[in-house]
Amino acid sequence: MFDAIVIGSGMSGAIAAKELCERGLKTLVIERGRKLEHGASYSDGLQPWELPDAGMIPEEEVANDYPIQSQCYAMSSANKDFWVKDSEHPYSTPEGKPFSWIRGNHLGGRSLMWGRQSYRLSAMDFEANAKDGHGSDWPIRYEDLAPWYDHIEKFIGVAGSKEGLAQLPDGEFLPPFGLNDAEIMFKKAVESKFPGRNVIPGRVANLSQAQPQHEELGRTSCQVRSLCERGCSYGAYHSSLSSSLPAAERTGNLTIVTDAIVHSIIHDPKTGKATGVRVIDSNTKKTQTYEAKVIFSCASTIGTTQILLNSKSDAFPEGLANSSDMVGRNLMDHLYGLSVAGVLPNGPDTFYKGRRPTGLYIPRFRNVSEPGAFLRGYGYQGGAMRMGWRTAALGKPGMGADLKERTRKLGPWMVYISGFGEMLPNPENRVTLHPNRKDKWGIPITHIDCAIGPNEQEMAKQIITDGKAMVEAVGGIVVSTGTEPGVPGLGIHEMGTACMGKDPAKSVLNGFNQAHDVPNLFITDGSAMASSGCQNPSLTYMALSARAAHHAVEFLREGKI
């Protein structure tokens, strides 16, 4: 028997394991995917000419095995094995309501492929549900999580600049990856013409300057190679494999089991507690049960929901911890794909060195000080780059001296910004279990019913309007726009299906990420989120995980669970 079981080894699970192990608990991490080794399992050492199919995946293979996963910008033949085969991991959606569930089933999960943008939620984000009546009121406020944001930022390493913005709190930062010349030009134009808007370096979990606590784990400073989605042998960006699992392992308290698909969590009606986890070996299909005093579910939002709903018993006929009927409801993702790109004909006549792991960020500026035509807000991510000699030389007539001269000249600067907008909690956006279909391990597949609402539609229009205005403010000529929000799921920020809340009748978890119905069950992945904010959420997942682990150990030692 273990002291603690953590389901999932991704962003939140590995942090939960680290914190539990460091506090002395013998901890088992259960991962449904295969084992990977930091460094040895990566392809970041391959040269372009060594990549299968020049980095592309054959169309037939995409159509047969990766029709959903291939929609993610980060997938290529170099890291194809980091993504699930859709053909082997089905789920269902209603006709005409697609949802793109992007997944990586392996040790470390999506922490190997994430975009690493790391932003805190603000005080206004934790208060939003209570103020406008959408969703469950958060049982915590910014002040409760702030020291845990500090804790996580110091551990993982976040490069960023301090800006003093209420809507985007500052943190414990490494030096930022600075803006390039065209981005500085863009910043000056936007901030002068639109008071209240700020253009700042993107805050990113890459080590601009590795600190002793990072070097102790074998991590080094970022080499600005722009190969992050392949895994980083330098450990320059935070992932479960590069930092949190090694930190847990050095305590001597960690056990990891891979290729173990969680079927359900076992509940004892006499004590009211969860007693263990039932798993299926993904290769042999044999079942096994692991027991523990405390259980953390960190299987990702939809994965945790599937486990809870499948953990039925006489005490919980609708799924474990689901007396409120809120498990699976309020699925959210950020508005995604709303982009504006423009040419800067009068951009600076300079170039840059290296390929940064981030670009620029424009924090939320709508509905910050006064309400607008819609609720909540949005931010932008993007950057500027200068087109190379190919722009001037290739695909155009010419020869001899004229052609040679053109190859010596760089093309124009381009600026690109893409909006990430908040999605309101909506109980009709939900995950359920399919009544008839099961996967090859005999577990009911998930049915995902999710669509953006009228508030998001109004927000999407404003994202494009504001984006165009900012590109034009710097003298840019808009050459392309993405005016329709991407399919839900493509933001890869799914969250909300086991939300925190003050009222057990309207939420699943309390202020410690502890299930209202099952005191020794904690859930700290994206499903715990009561609202989404517009910021990338992984930093918040990790802060919640560390905080919950701290309190779980205290409760265990005090005999409360």
Count the Cβ atoms, other than its own, within 10 Å of residue 252.
8
- Residue 296 and residue 263 share a domain: yes
| Token output for 282 | 């993904």
- Residue 25 and residue 129 share a domain: yes
- Pairwise CA distance, residues 327 & 317, whole Å: 13
- Pairwise CA distance, residues 353 & 220, whole Å: 20
- Pairwise CA distance, residues 311 & 523, whole Å: 15
User: Which uninterrupted H or E stretch holds 468?
Assistant: helix 454-473
Query: Would you state the pLDDT for residue 108?
Result: 98
- Residue 395 and residue 312 share a domain: no
- Residue 290 and residue 414 share a domain: no
22 with 2: CB under 8 angstroms?
Answer: no
Is residue 428 in some structural domain? no
Is residue 444 in some structural domain? no
| Token output for 425 | 């909690």
- Pairwise CA distance, residues 301 & 430, whole Å: 11
* pTM of the predicted protein model: 0.96
Torsion angles phi and psi, residue 193, rounded to 5: -90, -20
Choose one of 467, 487, 507: the last residue of a domain. 487
525 with 296: CB under 8 angstroms?
Answer: no
**Average pLDDT score over residue span 295-320:** 97
Query: Would you state the pLDDT for residue 333?
Result: 98
- Pairwise CA distance, residues 373 & 376, whole Å: 10
- Residue 327 and residue 394 share a domain: no
Environment class of 347 (CB within 10 Å of its CB; exposed 0-12, middle 13-18, buried 19+): buried
**Average pLDDT score over residue span 475-500:** 96
- Residue 348 and residue 260 share a domain: no
- Residue 339 and residue 284 share a domain: no
**Average pLDDT score over residue span 307-314:** 97
293 with 479: CB under 8 angstroms?
Answer: no
Query: Would you state the pLDDT for residue 393?
Result: 65
Q: Is the pLDDT of residue 244 over 90?
A: yes
- Residue 13 and residue 80 share a domain: yes
Is residue 437 in some structural domain? no
**Average pLDDT score over residue span 310-331:** 97
Query: Would you state the pLDDT for residue 400?
Result: 81
Choose one of 487, 502, 530: the last residue of a domain. 487
User: What is the number of domains present in the chain?
Assistant: 2
Q: Is the pLDDT of residue 316 over 80?
A: yes
Q: Is the pLDDT of residue 135 over 80?
A: yes
Residues of the domain holding 303: 2-159+204-222+231-331+494-557
- Residue 307 and residue 211 share a domain: yes
Query: Would you state the pLDDT for residue 218?
Result: 98
Is residue 194 in some structural domain? yes
Is residue 427 in some structural domain? no
207 with 214: CB under 8 angstroms?
Answer: yes
Query: Would you state the pLDDT for residue 149?
Result: 99
| pLDDT (tens digit per residue) in 324-347 | 999 999 999 999 999 999 999 999
Query: Would you state the pLDDT for residue 369?
Result: 87
Is residue 438 in some structural domain? no
Q: Is the pLDDT of residue 13 over 80?
A: yes
Is residue 436 in some structural domain? no
| pLDDT (tens digit per residue) in 418-436 | 999 999 999 999 999 999 9
Query: Would you state the pLDDT for residue 394?
Result: 66
| pLDDT (tens digit per residue) in 147-193 | 999 999 999 999 999 999 999 999 999 999 999 999 999 999 999 99
**Taking all residues of the chain, what is their mean pLDDT, rounded to a whole number?**
96
Q: Is the pLDDT of residue 397 over 90?
A: no
- Ramachandran category for residue 488: left, alpha or beta (phi over 0 → left; psi -120 to 50 → alpha): beta
| Token output for 374 | 């819609």
- Residue 259 and residue 395 share a domain: no
The alpha carbons of the chain give a radius of gyration, in whole angstroms, of 24
Is residue 550 in some structural domain? yes
For residue 64, what is the domain's CATH number? 3.50.50.60
- Residue 466 and residue 521 share a domain: no
- Pairwise CA distance, residues 477 & 515, whole Å: 52
**Average pLDDT score over residue span 437-446:** 98
- Residue 218 and residue 178 share a domain: no
Q: Is the pLDDT of residue 383 over 80?
A: yes
